Chains A and B, each alone.
Chain A
Amino acid sequence: MEITGRRRSLENCTESGWDAFDILTGDPLSDEDILSLRVMEGSFLYLKQLKKPFFKIENHDYMIKGVKGDSFFRFAVHRDHLSEIDRLISLLS
Chain B
Amino acid sequence: MSGIYLNNAATSYPKPDCVKELALKNINALPSGQFRSAGVSDNGDIFLECRRKLALILGVEESERIFFTSGATESLNTLLSGIGVNASEIITTVTEHNSVLRPLYNLPGIKGEPMLLPCDKEGVVSPGHFEDLAKTGRGKVLILNHCSNVNGTVQDAEAFGKIAKKYGLIYIIDASQSAGCMRIDADAWSADAIAFTGHKSLLGLQGSGGYYIRSGIPFVPMKYGGTGRDSEKLRYDGGDYEYETGTQNSLAIAALSEAARFILERGIENIEKRESEIRQYAKKRLSEIKGIFVFPSPEEKSGPVLSFSSEILPPSDISYILQNSYGIVTRSGLMCAPLMHEYIGSGKKGTVRISFSIFQKEEDIDSLCEALKEIHGDNG
B partners with A: yes
A65→B317 contact, CB < 8 A: yes
B320→A54 contact, CB < 8 A: yes
Chain B: interface residue count, which band? 20 to 34
Q: Given that A13-B333, A14-B333, A49-B374 are known contacts, is A54 also in contact with B321, CB under 8 Å in the complex?
A: yes
Tell yes or no: A15 within 8 A of B by CB.
yes
Q: Nearest 7 CB-CB pairs, A to B? A: A52-B325, A67-B324, A14-B316, A16-B333, A54-B321, A14-B333, A14-B332
B375→A47 contact, CB < 8 A: yes
B316→A51 contact, CB < 8 A: no
B348→A16 contact, CB < 8 A: yes
A51→B349 contact, CB < 8 A: no
The interface residues of chain A lying within 8 Å CB-to-CB of B326 are 51-52
Pick the residue among A11, A14, A54, A76 that contacts B325 (CB under 8 A): A54
Instruction: Compute how far the CA of A14 lies from the CA of B331 in the bound complex, rounded to whole angstroms.
Output: 7
Residues of B within 8 A of A (CB): 315-317, 319-321, 324-326, 331-334, 336, 348-350, 374-375, 377
Instruction: Compute how far the CA of A2 lies from the CA of B20 in the bound complex, rounded to whole angstroms.
Output: 41
Chain A residue total in the interface (Cβ 8 A) = 18
Digitize A12-48: 1 where CB-to-B-CB distance is under 8 Å, 0 elsewhere.
Answer: 0111100000000000000000000000000000010
- Starting from the known contacts A14-B320, A16-B316, A67-B324, 12 additional A-B residue pairs (CB-CB under 8 Å) come to A11-B319, A11-B320, A13-B336, A14-B332, A15-B333, A16-B334, A47-B375, A49-B377, A50-B321, A51-B374, A52-B324, A52-B326
The interface residues of chain A lying within 8 Å CB-to-CB of B317 are 54, 56, 65
Tell yes or no: A61 within 8 A of B by CB.
no
Instruction: Compute how far the CA of A66 lies from the CA of B316 in the bound complex, rounded to whole angstroms.
Output: 12
Instruction: Compute how far the CA of A52 lies from the CA of B375 in the bound complex, rounded to whole angstroms.
Output: 10
Residue in B closest to A54 when the chains form the complex, CB atoms: B321
Greatest chain B CB density within 10 A among A51, A70, A76 is at: A51
The interface residues of chain B lying within 8 Å CB-to-CB of A56 are 317
Greatest chain A CB density within 10 A among B324, B333, B377 is at: B324
Instruction: Compute how far the CA of A77 lies from the CA of B331 in the bound complex, rounded to whole angstroms.
Output: 20
Instruction: Compute how far the CA of A56 lies from the CA of B319 in the bound complex, rounded to whole angstroms.
Output: 14
20 A-B pairs with C-beta separation under 8 A: A11-B319, A11-B320, A14-B315, A14-B316, A14-B319, A14-B333, A15-B316, A15-B333, A16-B348, A16-B350, A49-B377, A51-B326, A54-B324, A56-B317, A65-B317, A66-B324, A67-B320, A67-B324, A67-B325, A76-B316
